[in-house]
Amino acid sequence: MKVDIKKLEKCCLCGSSHLELVMSLPASAVADHYVSVAELDDEQLAYPLDLELCVDCGHVQLSHVVNPDNIYSNYLYTTTTSVGLPDHFKQYASEILGVVRPKVGALVLDIGSNDGTLLSAFKDAGMKVVGVDPAPSAAAIARARGVDTVTGYFNAAVASDILKKNGSPAIVTANNVLANVEDVTSLIEAVRDLLSLDSVFVFETGYLLDIVRNALYDTIYHEHLFYYSVRPMRLFFERLGMELFHAEPIPTKGGSLRGYVQLAGGPRAVSSSVRKMEAEEAHYGIHTKPVFQTYFDSIEMTKRKLLALMGDLKSRGKTIAGYGASHSVTTLLHAFDLGNKIDFIVDDNPQKQNTYSPGFHIPVLSPDALKERNPDYVVILPWRFCDSIVSRNQAYLAGGGKFLVPIPELREITL
């Protein structure tokens, strides 16, 4: 598959061209491009995973952008397959309704609505809902669940059509979306034009501070263009005539940021949370280059330990499988150079089974393969879900198998 890629020359939040390279992970194939057996001979290129820091506003972004059509046209991810996310979205909807307190039947718009999981929770609470998502398969699932969904990218034209048909939404949400859209300015301008003075825009996105301090480097991949923190976002919204009036860290996906935004001059006072989080960011130094060198050094140390152990195991004839076929697994396999160390991967998602991993083309099988093939070791690649994976695979441990957890510290799990 030919994948178009281009270099970002300016900060996508403030427009500055004063960008500084702060970290380079090994080039990687596009994270969710698991291929079929018929596609094994097709060329699958690796693309840069370089992080650049805007010296002027402190924003961090990838140096290169992959054409989004090549990511989302055959997008396999659905919210319901992400461990813990459906329950999170139920709680999320309840919390947002408690803050905004809209009238029953008021409109909630979700940008990047995927399979409609979040909007279903709002609908169950008596709200009118509309979703927008570019992935045809996910949008079809949402509509089958009774969630009105526009298939396509959210932009000014889509926003105008929604406004004409429904009026201003009381709530607009964008969850794990802002990191994925190159022209984030146009997206937020379209959101702004939808809002009334009483409306609230709520977003969740990966949080740069947690990505650094919680060793979440496997969340760095081509789909995630931007790595947000509070200070650059506050300045960004101010430039667009909007106001970040509350911010909070949340545990989703290992560490995320939730922000609440209104039009400038809106009725809600700016909480102390915004300045508090900015102060913590400044103390940690995430808007400066040195922290990323320390971060990269920690990645290399973990890599050396894991490769030394796996090399020893392979020299003794041990078989090694991997568990998990998510986006983050692709980054980890490339970052740690595990392509020739893992015999096969297992995954719980039927859509990923009987495919081959991006770039390395490691076969992905059902978890039944742990019983059938009984590998000596299994590396838990989506390491944040270690407890859940281990609890579901006690039979493998009981048969003498061993799990390896690579991050944050290399450890072995046995019975």
Domain of residue 323, CATH code: 3.40.50.720
Q: Running DSSP on this structure, what letter comes out for residue 29? A: -
Rounded CA-CA distance 77/340 in Å is 26
54 within some domain: no
Domain annotation covers residue 367: yes
Which range is least confidently modeled, 71-75, 152-156, 249-253, 289-293? 71-75
| Cα distances (Å, whole numbers) of residue 220 to 22, 74, 238, 328 | 14, 20, 27, 7
- Can you tell me the mean pLDDT for 145-160? 95
pLDDT band of residue 172 (cuts 50, 70, 90) is very high
Mean pLDDT over 52-72 rounds to: 89
Q: Burial-class residue 55 by CB neighbours within 10 Å (0-12, 13-18, 19+).
A: middle
Question: Residues 240, 186: contact at Cβ < 8 Å?
Answer: no
Q: Is 257 part of a structural domain of the chain? A: no
**Residue 302: other Cβ atoms inside 10 A:** 19
pLDDT of residue 228: 98
* Contact between residue 230 and residue 247 where contact means Cβ atoms under 8 Å apart: yes
C-alpha 170/C-alpha 178 separation (Å) is 20
Predicted confidence at residue 312, as pLDDT, reads 96
Tens digits of residue pLDDT in 400-415: 999 999 999 999 999 8
CB contact at 8 A, 107 and 126: no
C-beta separation of 189 from 155 below 8 A = no
The pLDDT of residue 269 is 96
Number of alpha carbons in the 13 Å side-chain half-sphere of residue 266? 24
The SS3 assignment for 86 reads helix
Report the relative pairing of strands 60-62 and 226-227 from DSSP bridges: antiparallel
pLDDT score recorded for residue 87: 86
Exposed, middle or buried by CB within 10 Å (0-12, 13-18, 19+), for 75? middle
In a domain, 57, yes or no: no
State residue 75's pLDDT score: 55
pLDDT of residue 86: 80
Query: What's the confidence (pLDDT) of residue 78?
Result: 58
Pair of tokens at residue 41:
């001979």
Mean pLDDT of 59-77: 77
Instruction: Note whether residue 156 is domain-resident.
Output: no
- Domain that residue 381 falls in: 308-413
Domain count, the chain: 1
- For residue 313, tell me if it sits in a domain: yes
In terms of Cβ atoms closer than 10 Å to its own Cβ (0-12, 13-18, 19+), residue 56 is middle
pLDDT of res. 67? 83
pLDDT of residue 1: 47
Query: Dihedral, CA atoms, 42, 44, 45, 50, nearest 10 degrees?
Result: 170
| Mean pLDDT computed over every residue of the chain | 93
Three-state DSSP at 384 gives: helix
Q: pLDDT band at residue 81, thresholds of 50, 70 and 90?
A: low
| pLDDT for position 71 | 66
Query: Is 403 inside a domain boundary?
Result: yes
pLDDT band at residue 41, thresholds of 50, 70 and 90? very high
- Work out the average pLDDT over 24-39: 93
Residues 84-112 have pLDDT tens digits of 678 888 999 999 999 999 999 999 999 99
> What is the pLDDT, as a whole number, of residue 73?
57
Rounded Cα distance, 29 and 148, in Å: 34
What is the mean pLDDT of the segment spanning 57-67? 95
Give the CA angle between residues 245, 83, 71 to the nearest 5°: 80
CB 38 within 8 A of CB 355: no
Q: Across residues 296-315, what is the average pLDDT?
A: 95
How many residues make up the chain in this entry? 415
Judge whether residue 3 has pLDDT over 60.
no
pLDDT of residue 137: 87
Distance, in Å, from the CA atom of 69 to the CA atom of 18, rounded to the nearest integer, reads 29
Q: How far is CA 177 from the centre of its chain?
A: 8
Query: Is the bond preceding 408 in cis, omega lying within 30 degrees of 0?
Result: yes
Instruction: For residue 69, give every residue at least 6 positions away whose Cβ sits within 8 Å of its Cβ, in sequence order, or none.
Output: none
Letter string b/e over residues 181-213, b meaning 16 or more CB atoms within 10 A of that residue's CB? bbebbebbbbbbebbeebbbbbbbbbbbbbbbe
Q: Is 390 part of any domain? A: yes
Write out the two tokens for 297: 């050094």
Which residues lie closer than 8 Å to 202 by C-beta, 6 or more apart? 96, 171, 172, 173, 174, 258, 259, 260, 261
